[in-house]
Copies of this chain bind each other. A is one copy, B any other.
Amino acid sequence: MAKAVLTPQAENFPAWYQDVVARAELAENGPARGTMVIRPWGYAIWELMQADMDRRIKATGAQNASFPLFIPMSFLEKEKQHVEGFSPELAVVTHGGGDQLAEPLVVRPTSETVINHYFAKWIQSHRDLPLMLNLWNNVVRWELRPRLFLRTTEFLWQEGHTAHATYEDAVEETERMLEVYRRFMEESLAISLVVGEKSPGERFAGAEHTFTCEALMRDGKALQMGTSHNLGHNFARAFDIQYLDAGGERRYAATTSWGTSTRMIGGMIMVHGDDHGLCLPPAIAPHQVVVMQLDEGSEVAEAATRVEAELRAAGVRAHLDARTHTSFGRRSVDWELKGVPVRIELGARELASGQATLVRRDTRSKSSVPLDGAARAAASLLDEIQQALFAGSRAFREEHTYPVTDFDEFTQRVGDGGLFLAAWSGTEESEQALGEATSATIRCIVDADPPAPTCLMTGMPAKHTVLIGRAY
């Protein structure tokens, strides 16, 4: 077996992350600061995530569309909080076709403004509602401390934008999409989440309510994996989205937006990866099973091809690795690095004994199975692995979630990582006190009785239970 090629997680987690991203050939830094090249293995994972999520989004009735990359600066300025929130992160086009532009164009950081401009045009009557659109595109937010997948100046994402007749309909939509995200992340990414509302300090610029999916990485830091915003009537007023209701009265529509991005790939890496590399949930693995042909010769080649064909016939994304000129050690290490859930090893010895070797990536355990049943055995392992990864993620999150009632104790422990459940007054002062004393933030408000009658940060009467942690 070749020796480890990654910095161990326990030694230096950020270095391990960089190593995995590079060695599994997921992505590289782009030439312009903060940009990213997503290599085929990383992009194939993204395509599977997209296809899965796209089905779920369309099942809610939303339709895909495309809006322009460039937004006139004046559009952003229509919603005051929105432009304040995004101004520091904007990339601005000042020249086009050789000339200076009369009005600078912003490279979209998100598309609320341009979409709501069209909503105002398209929505006239209550019959035009709800209007539910989703975009798969790229957005740009200038990043001072970029990190591949987690924070990049340009990233790929989906952004949903909807308009509804009533505020209550917008509430429902915000909750529905949060639930779509939760199910996708738990069922397909095998990542256990805490979902809840963001505190005012962490809200989307221009939203009335922001809901979030928070996950716990293996280094004890939290990651925001997706958000769903109830924009209330803020954007409808700014862009004048009015409709005639059934009684003939003009009313403002209520709007929402919701998004998830390539950041989810970063979360998936840091939740499931280990010192041997990536560990992909089968649902989003480009190769779910790799058949490794160990020796040359037509009989071995035929047997390996047959197993691959059986896997494909069973609906498994199978790949035949027939690189017999490359060492076994290097090939095994490669597939481990790339996180392929199951390997089937098949050489002359296996053929003679009628037994193939099955290797699980998550547990790294090997077993012998009859060659005839190898494809079936591998296929049935996939479900088991998907479940085991989710169970592992949930157990890790639960084991590293601590109720805290003493602020001094909390400030001492927060540096070790993990999630903390605390009582919160619901006030801005409490949120500020937290930020001043620690580098942790309120990740979200959770639906549970406060662990103490008074706020952890200020001692004021407790209103909510919040989840606190250091985050990416």
Q: Is A87 positioned at the interface, with any CB of B under 8 Å from its CB?
A: yes
Residues of B within 8 A of A137 (CB): 138
Contact indicator B93/A92 (Cβ below 8 Å): yes
Contact indicator B40/A65 (Cβ below 8 Å): yes
Within 8 A of B (CB), among A121-163: 133, 137-138, 140, 142-144, 153-154, 156
Residues of B within 8 A of A104 (CB): 95
A35, B114: Cα distance in complex, Å: 12
Residues of B within 8 A of A114 (CB): 30-31
Within 8 A of B (CB), among A198-228: none
State how many angstroms separate the Cβ of A258 from the closest Cβ of chain B: 17
State how many angstroms separate the Cβ of A284 from the closest Cβ of chain B: 15
Within 8 A of B (CB), among A71-113: 71-72, 75, 87-98, 104-105, 107
Contact indicator A156/B66 (Cβ below 8 Å): yes
Residues of B within 8 A of A143 (CB): 97
Please count how many residues in chain A sit with their CB below 8 Å of the partner chain's CB atoms. 53
Residue in chain B with minimal CB distance to A107: B93
Q: Is A383 positioned at the interface, with any CB of B under 8 Å from its CB?
A: no
Annotate A41-65 by CB proximity to B: 1 below 8 A, 0 otherwise. 0011011000000000000000111
Contact indicator A68/B107 (Cβ below 8 Å): no
Q: Is A444 positioned at the interface, with any CB of B under 8 Å from its CB?
A: no
Q: Is A39 positioned at the interface, with any CB of B under 8 Å from its CB?
A: yes
Residues of B within 8 A of A93 (CB): 91-94, 107
Residues of B within 8 A of A310 (CB): none
Q: Is A472 positioned at the interface, with any CB of B under 8 Å from its CB?
A: no
Residues of B within 8 A of A64 (CB): 40, 43-44, 47
Partner of A38, one of B36, B39, B65: B65
Partner of A68, one of B35, B88, B92: B35
Contact indicator A63/B35 (Cβ below 8 Å): no
A66, B136: Cα distance in complex, Å: 13
Contact indicator A30/B154 (Cβ below 8 Å): no
| Cross-chain pairs A/B with CB under 8 angstroms, 22 sampled | A32-B70, A32-B72, A36-B66, A37-B65, A38-B66, A40-B65, A43-B63, A43-B65, A44-B64, A69-B69, A70-B91, A70-B154, A91-B95, A92-B95, A93-B93, A93-B94, A93-B107, A94-B95, A96-B153, A97-B144, A98-B142, A137-B138
Which 9 interchain pairs have the tightest Cβ spacing? A97-B142, A35-B68, A40-B63, A30-B68, A38-B66, A92-B95, A32-B70, A91-B96, A94-B94
